[in-house]
Amino acid sequence: MSSTEVKLIGVVGAGQMGRGIAQVAAMSDYQVVLFDINQEGLDFGHGFIKKQLDRGVEKGKWDSSFVEKALGNLKPTTNMNDLKDCDLVIEAATENKKIKFEIFKSLDEIVKDDAILASNTSSISITEIAAATKRAEKLLECTL
């Protein structure tokens, strides 16, 4: 059995869930690629993370060097191919079967063979999502 050491995390969708997942991962010193198809949504999500981190400085939770490091860990992109080297990709895009199936089909082709894929879906069967890929054994449901 092979094991995957997670160093680079991809997040699909920079909305409410995706930006939170990306923020926590970047603060935990993982390198993070945050992908959204919508530039405006991506900019909003990235700006939101920055605001949250800056607020932490104002509240004395951490200092500005921590913010700089966390933001440095984060790469926002509208190019799905930028996820290709990720060890783990967490999908948090719009809750829509068609959209999610298409995302997983594309991810399956883009990311390396041993990468783990996870979905933050709140209502769609993970078995159905896994069937859109050729790596059902590497598919996780990631609910918060």
Ligand X SMILES: NC(=O)c1ccc[n+]([C@@H]2O[C@H](COP(=O)([O-])OP(=O)(O)OC[C@H]3O[C@@H](n4cnc5c(N)ncnc54)[C@H](O)[C@@H]3O)[C@@H](O)[C@H]2O)c1
Question: Which residues would be at the binding site for ligand X (CB under 6 A)?
Answer: 12-18, 35-38, 41, 92-95, 99, 103, 120-122, 144
C-alpha radius of gyration, the chain, whole number: 15
Q: Nearer Cβ to ligand X, position 93 or 117?
A: 93
Q: Least separation, in Å, of the C-beta of 31 and ligand X?
A: 19
CA distance 142 to 63: 30
Q: Nearer Cβ to ligand X, position 92 or 130?
A: 92
Q: Nearer Cβ to ligand X, position 38 or 52?
A: 38
Q: Least separation, in Å, of the C-beta of 48 and ligand X?
A: 11
| Position of minimal CB gap to ligand X | 15
Q: Least separation, in Å, of the C-beta of 7 and ligand X?
A: 22
Q: Least separation, in Å, of the C-beta of 43 and ligand X?
A: 10
Cβ atoms within 10 Å of 121's Cβ, excluding its own: 20
Cβ atoms of 34 and 18 within 8 Å: the answer is yes
Q: Nearer Cβ to ligand X, position 28 or 94?
A: 94
Q: Nearer Cβ to ligand X, position 31 or 120?
A: 120
In the block, which residue shows the tokens 């191919």? 81
CA distance 17 to 80: 18
Q: Is 76 left (phi over 0), alpha (psi -120 to 50) or beta?
A: beta
Q: Least separation, in Å, of the C-beta of 127 and ligand X?
A: 16
Q: Is 13 left (phi over 0), alpha (psi -120 to 50) or beta?
A: left
